[in-house]
């Protein structure tokens, strides 16, 4: 069980949508595109060597890099390994709100675990990856990390102790628009209110419970009714151009609902059919074309696998 499986492996790590509107820091799901690719190799040189094969100019010092920090935490648990070389090719833009940092951390530790013959459980891998997530946001949150590793929709019941529950959600189409502005997670957290009215907390708890129940029961109407955030969205939405126009027109076109993906600026909408999801994508494009704002869009589905091995 403790033997090294092989010396090198390539993985694909998915983008993720955190919060799912009302579930701040506790709900998230993985999507099938975009995704990052990482090649990890065991090496004799101590520590973590990082080679970036993209144009995002991310740090190459391991302690300052999301993947590097996660791998350093992993190395502490496997003293028989001296170091890793990580070749990173990211397609998920940092600051996009679709889990770029989580994809980096999750992809790195899943690759390392594969090389170590899958010694650690998915829950243990989340713990390693959260060390990397803290580099990006200053907080060890798992709402992007968990779905990236487990796949599908996940509920983080607790961070300390870590308790993650996979949720059997129905097949859903996901449409995302990423306006070409950057919202740093750390900055987006700083503007949040530190105190919440009890009546708002009660409404939010009802929506979270309703959303989880809607997923489990495959009740699309309940999912739609529960996609409401009265605490986080009213504050963060001011950072995203045309947010409420996009949300309203997409729902009028048949989307179940949606909102800010993670800390933004990406906006996501859930739909029952591919036709609705593609129509929603066209609406998003029309709105941003009208105001002259550059953007990217993705019309995809929920990723049930999480990080996958692509080159053994």
Active-site residues, by number, are 133, 185
Q: 244, exposed or middle or buried, with CB in 10 Å at 0-12, 13-18, 19+?
A: exposed
- CA 91-61-131 angle, to 5 degrees, is 75
* Rounded Cα gap, residues 103 and 35, in angstroms: 8
Question: Do the Cβ atoms of 137 and 19 come closer than 8 Å?
Answer: no
The overall longest dimension of the chain from CA atoms, in Å, is 58
What whole-number distance in Å separates Cα of residue 74 and Cα of residue 234?
A: 38
Query: What are the structure tokens assigned to 90, written together?
Result: 């990211």
Do the Cβ atoms of 254 and 269 come closer than 8 Å? no
């Amino acid at each position: 069980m403790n033997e090294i499986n092989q010396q090198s492996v390539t993985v694909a790590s998915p983008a993720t949508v955190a919060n799912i509107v009302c579930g701040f820091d506790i709900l998230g799901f993985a999507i099938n595109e975009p995704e990052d690719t990482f090649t990890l190799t065991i090496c004799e040189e101590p520590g973590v060597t990082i080679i970036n094969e993209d144009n995002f100019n991310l740090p190459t010092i391991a302690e300052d890099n999301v993947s590097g920090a996660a791998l350093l935490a992993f190395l502490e648990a496997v003293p028989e390994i001296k170091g890793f070389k990580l070749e990173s090719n990211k397609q998920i833009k940092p600051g996009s709100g679709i889990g770029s940092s989580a994809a980096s951390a999750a992809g790195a530790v899943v690759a390392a675990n594969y090389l170590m013959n899958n010694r650690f459980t998915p829950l243990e891998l989340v713990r390693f990856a959260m060390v990397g997530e803290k580099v990006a946001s200053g907080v060890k949150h798992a709402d992007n990390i968990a779905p990236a590793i487990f796949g599908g929709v996940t509920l983080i019941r607790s961070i300390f102790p870590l308790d993650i529950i996979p949720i059997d959600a129905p097949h859903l189409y996901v449409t995302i628009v990423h306006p070409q502005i950057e919202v740093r997670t750390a900055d987006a957290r700083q503007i949040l209110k530190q105190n919440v009215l009890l009546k708002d907390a009660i409404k939010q708890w009802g929506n979270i419970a309703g959303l989880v129940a809607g997923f489990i029961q495959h009740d699309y109407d309940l999912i739609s009714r529960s996609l409401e955030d009265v605490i986080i969205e009213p504050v963060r939405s001011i950072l995203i151009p045309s947010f409420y126009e996009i949300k309203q027109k997409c729902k009028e076109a048949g989307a179940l609902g949606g909102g800010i993906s993670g800390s933004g600026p990406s906006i996501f909408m859930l739909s029952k059919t591919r036709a609705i999801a593609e129509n929603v994508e066209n609406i998003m494009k029309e709105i941003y074309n009208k105001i002259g704002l550059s953007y990217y869009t993705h019309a995809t589905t929920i990723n049930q696998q999480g990080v996958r091995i692509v080159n053994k």
